[in-house]
A and B are shown apart, each in its own frame.
Chain A
Amino acid sequence: MEPKKPIILVIDDEESIRDSCFQIIVKDGYQAETAQNGTEGLEKIRNVHPDMVLVDLKMPGKSGYEVLEELRTINPHIIPVVITGYGTVDSAVEAMKRGAFDFIQKPFTPEELRKIIRRSLERRKLIQEAETLRLEKKILEENFITMVSHQLRSPLVAVQQYFEVILGGMAGQVEAKQEHMLIRAGERVKALLNLINDWLDMARMNSGEIADNLHPLSIKKLLIKLIDFFRPMIQKENISLKMDLIQDDPLVLGDKEALEQVFSNLISNAIKYNRSKGTAAIFIKKEEKSVVIEVQDTGIGIAPEHLPFIFDQFYRVNRKEGQKTKGTGLGLSIAKKIVEAHKGTIRAKSKPGKGSTFTVTLPKAEAGKGANPLGQDQTSSD
C-alpha cells in the first residue's frame, strides 16, 4: 500500500492565488485542497484533515487570525502558514504569536512556496514521530512493571504449584513431618510473593499511573465485591461483619483496581487484627464534595505513640512475645499513596484494647467529568 500523500489546504479569497498554489502543490506530488473563505476553510479542515494549511490573513468574513485560533482547537498538530499582504511583517509576527509556524509574503515565487511547504511538512513529520515515541514509552513503562512482576512471580508460583501437587498426594505418599514442612515452606513462599506484590505496587505508584486512570465509579459496588471476596476469611476468623452502606450510590473519581487495593488492605487488617468473635464494620457517608468510607474493628488497637507512624513504609508495631508480625509493612503506606493520588485523605483513630477506625475520604465524581472515552462509567459490574 502506498503511503498517503500529504494534504495541503489553501484558504484564500483570491482565485489567482488559489489556482497557482494548487498547481504548484500538485506538481510537487502532494494532494491539494482549496477554500474561498475562513468558514469554508475550517469546514475543509474538519473533513479533509490536512497536514498543512496556507491561510490568507486578510479575508472578508472570518479573518486568517480567527482561522488560526480555531485550527488550534481542532488539531494543534496541523501546521499553519499565513499568507501576508504586501510590504509589512507586523501581521506575520502577530500571526506567529497566535500559532502560525511560518509566513509567506505576497507576491511569492513558486520556489518560495516550495521551500515553505518542505519546511512545514518536515515539522509535521517530527511532531508525529515525537508523539509516537511518547506513546510507545508510556506503554513500555507500564508493561515493564508487568513484565518484571511476571518474571519475579513465575518461579515462586511454580514452587507453590509443586507443593500443591505433593500435598495433594499426587506424587506419592506424604509423611506427617514432610507435610508439615511443606506447608511451612509454602507459607514462606507466599510471604515472599506478597512482598513482591507490594514492591511492584510501589513502583506503579511512583510511575504515576493512577492519575491517568481515573473514572467515575461506585464505591458501594466496589466494597460489596470486596466483602464477598473476604467472606471466607471473615467466617474462618469468626468475625461478624456489619455494613452500613446508605441508600444511594455516590460516585467517586477513582482507579478501580487501586481503590480495591486500598480497601482490601483496610478490610484485611480489620479482620487480621481483630479479637476472637469481634466485629468489623464498614460505613459510607456522603458529604458535600466527598464520600467518606470508614472501616472499623474491635481489635487490639494501636497505641498512641505508634499512631503517627503507621502509614510510614515498613513501619511495624512490635507485638508481644510469641506473636509474629504479619505482613510486609507496606500495605498502609501504599494505601496512603493511592488515596493521595486520588486527591483524598486517609486517617486512623484507635484505642488500644478497644479497636481502630480508618477513615478514607475521596472526592466525588462530578457528573460527566473523567468519564472514559466510550462514555460509560465503571458502575456496571464486571
Chain B
Amino acid sequence: MPLSQKEKTMDKEKTKILVIDDDPDFLDAVTSILETSQYDVETASDPKAGKKRIFSYKPDLILLDIMMDSLFDGFSLCNDIKSSKEFKDVPIIFVSAVKKITGSRFQFKGEEQGMIGPDDYMDKPVQPDELISRIEKLLAP
C-alpha cells in the first residue's frame, strides 16, 4: 500500500495536485492513487484547460504528460509555467509513455531548445509507491 501523506505541518488542508493528460484513463487511475494517499486532485485534458486550471486551482504540484496533441505541448506548457512569476516554484513531474532506455526516444528535446524543464520525469505506467515517494520528495520543505 502506498505511504499516506506525511503530516509535516499541522495544516488540515490537503495538498493539491493538478494532473494534465489527454488520456482520461490515466487521469482516472492516477486520481485513485493520489486520493488514496489523501491528496486533493484536479485534472485537465489539454494544455489550454490546464493553464486555466492552474490559475483557478493553484496546485502545489503538477503532473504533466509530455505528449498530448503534439510533441511540443508538454515541454511548452512546462516552460510557460516555470517562466511565470506566480507559478515558477510549483514542482512539475513529467510523465511519459515513451521510455528513454531501451525504447524509442524523443525527437524533440525541450531543454536542448532552451526551454526550462521539469523537476522530475517518470515513465508510464507509474508505480503507486514510486509516484507518492517522488511527490513527497519534491514537496518536502
Chain B residues near A257 (CB-CB < 8 A): 100, 105
**Given A146-B106, A200-B104; A161-B29 close (CB under 8 Å):** yes
A-B residue pairs, 9 tightest by C-beta: A161-B125, A160-B125, A158-B25, A157-B97, A161-B29, A149-B104, A157-B124, A168-B128, A153-B97
A164 and B29 form a contact (CB under 8 A) = yes
Chain B residues near A204 (CB-CB < 8 A): 104
Whether A306 is near chain B, meaning CB under 8 Å from some CB there, is: no
Chain B residues near A (Cβ < 8 Å): 1-2, 23, 25-26, 29-30, 32-33, 36, 67, 71, 97-108, 124-129
Whether A211 is near chain B, meaning CB under 8 Å from some CB there, is: no
Chain A residues near B125 (CB-CB < 8 A): 157, 160-161, 163-164
**Given A164-B127, A165-B128; A158-B26 close (CB under 8 Å):** yes
A162 and B104 form a contact (CB under 8 A) = no
B32 and A170 form a contact (CB under 8 A) = yes
Chain A residues near B97 (CB-CB < 8 A): 150, 153-154, 157
Chain B residues near A147 (CB-CB < 8 A): 71
- The interface residues of chain A, by DSSP majority, are classed as helix
B128 and A170 form a contact (CB under 8 A) = yes
Nearest-neighbor residue (CB-CB) of B100 within chain A? A257
Nearest-neighbor residue (CB-CB) of A190 within chain B? B125
A161 and B30 form a contact (CB under 8 A) = yes
- The interface residues of chain B, by DSSP majority, are classed as loop
Interface size class of chain A, counting residues whose CB lies under 8 Å from the partner chain: 20 to 34
Query: CB within 8 A of A170: which of B36, B106, B126?
Result: B36
A142 and B101 form a contact (CB under 8 A) = no
Q: How far is the CA of A226 from the CA of B124 in the complex (A)?
A: 20
Whether A197 is near chain B, meaning CB under 8 Å from some CB there, is: yes
| CB of A225, distance to nearest CB on chain B (Å) | 9
Proximity bits, A275-296, B CB within 8 Å = 1, else 0: 0000000000000000000000
Whether A229 is near chain B, meaning CB under 8 Å from some CB there, is: yes
Nearest-neighbor residue (CB-CB) of B37 within chain A? A170
Nearest-neighbor residue (CB-CB) of A144 within chain B? B107
